Amino acid sequence: MDADTLLKSNGLPKRMVDTVSKAVRSRIMSRIRGKDTKPELLFAKYLRSKGIKYRRNVRIQGHRVDFRLVGTKTVVFVHGCFWHGCPSCFRLPKSNRTFWSRKIELNKRRDFRLSSLLRKQGWLVRTVWEHAGRPGHRKIFIRSLKRAKQ
Ligand SMILES: [Zn+2]
C-alpha cells in the first residue's frame, strides 16, 4: 500500500493531503504508523524503568486503550498534542483551518466519550500528553504516573 492509499484510508482526502504542510504531513505519517508512535514508546520505557507492569493496546469492550496497568483498574492514554488538541500546545495549522478544527474537535469528543464510558465502568482514566515526554518535562511525566498509580 502506498502512502496516498494509506492517507485516504485514514480518512484524509488526497486533495487535502497534497496541500498540508510538511510538518502536518509528518504528523499524519506518524499517526499512520499507528501503534508505535514515539510518545507511547517513551511512556512504555518510562513505565519499565519504574518497574510498573503494563499491557499495551488492550481492548476493553471493543475500545482500544493505549495502556492498562497490570493489577490495577487503571488505563492510560498517551495523546499526541496535535491530534488530540492539547490545551497547552495545539495550534491550528494555517491552511485548511475549517477541516482541521472539525477533525480535531471530533477527536476530542471521541476521547471524552471513551473516558466517560470507562470511568462509568470503574476504570481510573489518565491522560499523558505527548509534550510530557519532551526534554525538560520529565516532572510532568512523573506526576502523570503518580496519579495513574493511585
Ligand atoms: Zn501538549
pLDDT digits (tens, 9 = 90+) for 5-17: 444 444 444 444 4
Is the domain spanning 35-149 CATH 3.40.960.10? The answer is yes
Share of the chain above pLDDT 70, in %: 65
CA 85 to ligand 1 center in whole angstroms: 8
Give pLDDT, residue 43. 87
CA 1 to ligand 1 center in whole angstroms: 31
In angstroms and rounded to an integer, the radius of gyration of the C-alpha atoms of the chain is 16
pTM here is: 0.69
pLDDT digits (tens, 9 = 90+) for 21-68: 666 666 655 555 455 568 888 889 888 988 889 999 999 989 999 999
pLDDT digits (tens, 9 = 90+) for 73-118: 999 999 999 999 999 899 999 999 999 999 999 999 999 999 999 9
User: How far is 145 from 47, CA to CA, in rounded Å?
Assistant: 8
CA 79 to ligand 1 center in whole angstroms: 8
Q: Which residue has the higher pLDDT, 123 or 142?
A: 123
Mean pLDDT of 121-125: 93
CA 108 to ligand 1 center in whole angstroms: 13
Domain boundaries defined on the chain: 1-32, 35-149
